[in-house]
Chains A and B, each alone.
Chain A
Amino acid sequence: DTGVSQDPRHKITKRGQNVTFRCDPISEHNRLYWYRQTLGQGPEFLTYFQNEAQLEKSRLLSDRFSAERPKGSFSTLEIQRTEQGDSAMYLCASSGDRGAYEQYFGPGTRLTVT
């Protein structure tokens, strides 16, 4: 297994545009998480999925943010009408759901909103 992958690695967009990020988790993991990280801070939880079900969303996740995991495999995170405050590193992680608590993170997508 090659680990968690994310695409793109970097995205520069203008304010007001929509962006979509993709995450491919470790194949046998049924839990998938999205986090956001800004400079000098630890990752902040956004949302997570158990298979295709979205089980929890953070209050950080405004109405402009939506995440999907349609077939319980890869996931997408979309941000509509981007704002400069959305500039951050968006991290995806996956884990099993029974007895394994550690999470495996992807390399992240660095978003810059100009």
Chain B
Amino acid sequence: SQKIEQNSEALNIQEGKTATLTCNYTNYSPAYLQWYRQDPGRGPVFLLLIRENEKEKRKERLKVTFDTTLKQSLFHITASQPADSATYLCAPQPDTGTASKLTFGTGTRLQVTL
């Protein structure tokens, strides 16, 4: 069965450092992979989408990589700030030719301290 794995343990990092979060998937061949941010008590917020033919995508301090051979995506936040503290969810997505349901990993909680 399809499986999406994110580190369930919280990632604690010092302000200014680069945070790297991992998303691994098995029994899956996604054409896209999305990353969302979720704050406590709120709905997820879309951050980035990367396609299978894109190795890397950037948005401000965020960088996502997508390695279809390793079946892995890495999500980096450079120069991290306490405001980046949240849970980050990945969602690999097959190409159905249209918008479709998302299957999320369990999420990794990031805590950025001063």
Is there an interface contact between B106 and A95, defined as CB atoms closer than 8 Å? no
Q: Report the bound CA distance from A100 to B105 in whole Å.
A: 21
A85 adjacent to chain B (CB < 8 Å): no
Q: Report the bound CA distance from A40 to B8 in whole Å.
A: 8
Is there an interface contact between A97 and B46, defined as CB atoms closer than 8 Å? no
B65 CB to closest chain A CB, in angstroms? Answer: 19
Q: Report the bound CA distance from A105 to B99 in whole Å.
A: 14
Is there an interface contact between A104 and B102, defined as CB atoms closer than 8 Å? no
B73 adjacent to chain A (CB < 8 Å): no
Q: Report the bound CA distance from A102 to B102 in whole Å.
A: 9
Is there an interface contact between A33 and B101, defined as CB atoms closer than 8 Å? yes
Count chain B residues whose beta carbon lies closer than 8 angstroms to a beta carbon of A.
25
Is there an interface contact between A48 and B101, defined as CB atoms closer than 8 Å? yes
Choose among A31, A42, A95, A107 the residue that contacts B43 (Cβ–Cβ < 8 A).
A107
Count chain A residues whose beta carbon lies closer than 8 angstroms to a beta carbon of B.
28
Residue in chain A with minimal CB distance to B47: A102
Report A-chain residues with C-beta under 8 Å of the C-beta of B41. Answer: 107-108, 110
A106 CB to closest chain B CB, in angstroms? Answer: 5
Q: Report the bound CA distance from A104 to B102 in whole Å.
A: 12
Interface residues of B (CB under 8 A from A): 4, 8, 32, 34, 36, 41-46, 49, 89, 91, 93, 98-107
23 A-B Cβ contacts within 8 A?
Answer: A31-B99, A33-B102, A42-B4, A42-B91, A42-B107, A43-B44, A43-B102, A45-B102, A45-B103, A48-B100, A56-B101, A91-B43, A91-B44, A93-B43, A95-B99, A97-B99, A101-B49, A101-B99, A105-B36, A105-B43, A105-B45, A107-B43, A108-B43
